[in-house]
Chains A and B, each alone.
Chain A
Amino acid sequence: MLRRLLTVLCCLFAFGLLSPVAHAEYADVVLNHQAEKNGMRPVIFPHWFHRIRFRCKVCHYELGFKMRAGANLVQMEDIINGKFCGVCHNNDIAWGVENCDLCHSGKPGLPPGIFGGHETSGPGRW
């Protein structure tokens, strides 16, 4: 009986029904290797918002973002100097870096990673 219950719970978890971030929009990325250490909220990067406006290849081919979440060391200094996010987030194509809270908008304590994907709604793992 207990074993059956555990199996059901595992399956529910695998399909994202019990996950604590089950409602995160698919492919949202949390950047928090450095943000909170430096007194800022974690960054939430929404893939859905960006891919309406840019094809994957713009960021992942032209701008130098590696595909795997967590593989990129994205630092404010680089962004301010016009690299990575700063290629657009410069008050020309998108809002500039002085609008801190629009990117640094995550709940305190979030672990970095990609959400809504393997860990929450698929049979595999990221």
Chain B
Amino acid sequence: MALIALSAGNPALAGTWQPIAKDGLHDPKGPGASLLQHPGEALSRLTPDTAGNQVRWVQALDKGEINPRTNLLPDTKVRTLDLDVLLDLKGSMPIVRFPHKAHTEWLDCDNCHGELFGQPRIFEERTGGSNISMLRILEGEQCGQCHGAVSFPLTECMRCHSIPRPAGGSFQSLMPNLGN
């Protein structure tokens, strides 16, 4: 716990971005170092976060702070879906609410449910059809292909495990339409 606090309190992670020449990747002697945009210049204007790029990307998009293109090819069908799925109903952590809306604003259905460019399908479309495991996610599979690499990292447990389990009650009280 102390380490988590230490990590959260690390000034390098709290609203500061390294200039390009000091990020450990760019060659400070190369021409790019003086020409490329610094992350802080762009990211400091967006809704802040304490993890990842220190930007709440989904909120930045919702609020219109950014307006990234949905497609380049005129014939692409831009697909979105507004459907929440509750996952991990029988675990001990708070229940996971997976919002299709936030995900399909950024991604196409086929990114998770298709077999694009020879990549294996990540999730079946049928709820309960995918054997989702935190261990696999931590190893960079399933949700972990993006979360922990590009989208907010796996240190932010409660952002996915966001629905408190009813005390002494059954998960079905959360989903009255589910039946048995």
Contact = CB atoms under 8 A, between A and B. Distances in A.
Contacts of A61: 76, 107-108, 110-111, 116
B133 interface: no
A23 B22 contact: yes
B146 A67 contact: yes
A117 B72 CA distance: 28
Contacts, number: 186
A89 interface: no
Interface string B69-83: 111110010100000
A6 interface: no
A48 B35 contact: no
Interface in B36-60: 36-37, 39, 42-43, 51-55, 57
B27 interface: yes
Interface residues of A, number: 62
A58 B17 CA distance: 26
Contacts of A49: 37, 39, 42
Contact of B155 (A17, A47, A71, A121): A121
Interface size range of chain B in the complex:
35 or more
A13 to B, nearest CB: 11
The binding surface of chain A is classed by DSSP as loop
The binding surface of chain B is classed by DSSP as loop
Contacts of B66: 52-53
Interface string A21-51: 1111111101000000000010010111101
Interface of A: 11-12, 15-17, 20-28, 30, 41, 44, 46-49, 51-58, 60-69, 71, 87-88, 93, 101-108, 110, 114-115, 117-118, 121-126
Interface of B: 3, 6-7, 10, 12-13, 17-18, 22-27, 30-33, 35-37, 39, 42-43, 51-55, 57, 66, 68-73, 76, 78, 105-108, 110-111, 116-119, 137-140, 144-146, 148-150, 153-155
10 contacts: A15-B6, A17-B6, A23-B23, A25-B39, A26-B150, A53-B68, A60-B107, A87-B72, A121-B155, A125-B140
